Copies of this chain bind each other. A is one copy, B any other.
């Protein structure tokens, strides 16, 4: 085995969670949100972290729905990588299989570092050291889990019991995995030197494929066929849907780690959090002298140990302790910190009612930019539309609405029934009902326009796409 082969980061970015709702939603999950002070998402932070000596070009495994956010965020920090699109969610074993197969194609001696993209790490060097040390063990034939040395008896994580004897350095063989315990059991685990299972792994691609073949052959076959049938779509590698759907929905822990004889754990501390709830976000952020984390346009009086964030309007808090208050453009959450686990149930209830807010933000990201509804009423709707330089909306028509476009910034190239014209700031275009039209930003700065739709029906589905550079249906 070539000990100098670089480590291939496999970034897992396909998950969608509701535990940080209303900020995190199905269409914009937490790994893509700037939850931390640096103004970058944990996905971006994860990528930057492994843009280091000894690491290869990253492989990003994400969901088809997140492809444009993903590409935009990578572009935003100037990091390139291979973006693999899962047509649907099949849990972590399938994603790990895809990552191992691609790394193996690059070099059969590849060592993969499978990293969650929605975790926070405050001690980056500590994580890199742990990965490098785990990689050394991996080159010696171990499938390594990054364990976290617990700082309290948490019942929120699974635990890993290490063997007595060391493999090398901090690496130990795994004696057993245990599910999330109650707090008393957790304290015993802590006393006995167990570590938390962080869900980050380091292994030789070859060995992982062997173990998948032995313990989860259907996952491996589905992933292999999905890659063989994959198609290029712009810069993305889109896995074959039918093949990928054959992968059983199973986590890599169940599929391989609990069965393999080669499982190892390297326990370390590197300021880790999986920010699995508003409470854990509060726990990991710097607090003021009252124990509060206050973000955005927020005022708090007689308030303690609370997390208050506003992305939008003035949010005021009086006389609360241990509360979470989150204001977004279209939803407000107020919760006792002790009840944040119930956010999941709340969002499920909202989804059951068919509420858009359960899964979608008011600002909708598109490959060409974004739009956001700013007003709606009987017979009309108003949107703020932003088109990135070079962005092109599909050639389209509507049967139930006319549109008035007022350019407030930049320049628009408007195609209307075959004729092309430029509109500058403070100019307005009118798109009659039924007219075939296209909007394009030919300039160097963002194009911003206000769209006033007038018609008896202004739903998103009143659209016929005649042509689309982004290959959408």
Task: Tell whether, in the assembled complex, residue A357 and residue B314 are in contact, meaning their CB atoms are under 8 Å apart.
Answer: yes
Known contacts A379-B425, A380-B450, A406-B454; 15 further A-B pairs (Cβ under 8 A) = A314-B331, A315-B331, A315-B334, A317-B334, A317-B335, A318-B334, A318-B346, A319-B339, A374-B375, A375-B382, A382-B382, A402-B426, A404-B428, A406-B452, A408-B452
Interface residues of A, dominant DSSP: strand
**CB pair A339 B318 closer than 8 Å:** yes
Say which residue of B310, B314, B320, B327 sits within 8 Å of A335 (CB atoms). B320
Contacts of A310 in B (CB 8 A): 332
In the assembled complex, the CB of A290 is this many whole angstroms from the nearest CB of chain B, namely: 14
A1 at the interface (CB under 8 A from B): no
For residue A30, CB closer than 8 A to chain B, the reply is no
Bound complex: CA A288 to CA B281 (Å): 33
Please name all residues of chain B whose beta carbon is closer than 8 Å to the beta carbon of A4 when the two chains form the complex: none
A336 touches B (CB below 8 Å):
yes
Provide the bound-state CA to CA distance between A53 and B349, in Å.
Answer: 52
- Complex alpha-carbon distance, A329 and B329, angstroms: 10
- Copies per complex? 2
Contact indicator A406/B408 (Cβ below 8 Å): no
Which residues on the B side are within 8 Å of A465 (C-beta)? none
Task: Please report A residues at the B interface, Cβ cutoff 8 Å.
Answer: 22, 299, 301-302, 310, 313-320, 323, 325, 327, 329-336, 338-340, 342-343, 345-346, 349-350, 355, 357, 374-375, 377-380, 382, 384, 402, 404, 406, 408-409, 425-426, 428, 430, 448, 450, 452, 454-455
Q: A313 to B22, alpha carbons, bound, how many Å?
A: 12
A319/B301 in contact, CB under 8 A: no
Q: Tell me the complex Cα distance, A310–B330, Å.
A: 11
Contact across chains for A454 and B425 when beta carbons are under 8 A apart: yes
Q: Which residue of chain B has its CB nearest to the CB of A308?
A: B334
Identify A320's interface contact among B318, B334, B355, B375, CB under 8 A.
B334
Decide: A315 near B332, CB < 8 A? Known: A375-B374, A454-B408.
yes
Complex Cα gap A455–B409 (Å): 10
A345, B336: Cα distance in complex, Å: 24
Is B314 in contact with A332, judged by CB distance below 8 angstroms?
yes
Bound form: Cα–Cα A404–B382 in Å: 13
Alpha-carbon separation in the docked complex, A332 to B314 (Å): 6
Q: In the complex the two chains form, is B382's CB within 8 Å of A346's CB?
A: no
Count chain B CB atoms within 10 A of each CB in A325, A329, A339, A426 and give the residue with the most. Answer: A426
**Centre residue among A301, A378, A402 by max chain B CB count within 10 A:** A301
Give me 8 A-to-B residue pairs in the complex whose CB atoms sit less than 8 angstroms apart, sorted by A's number: A301-B349, A310-B332, A314-B331, A320-B335, A332-B332, A374-B374, A380-B448, A382-B384
CB distance from A313 to the nearest CB of B (A): 5
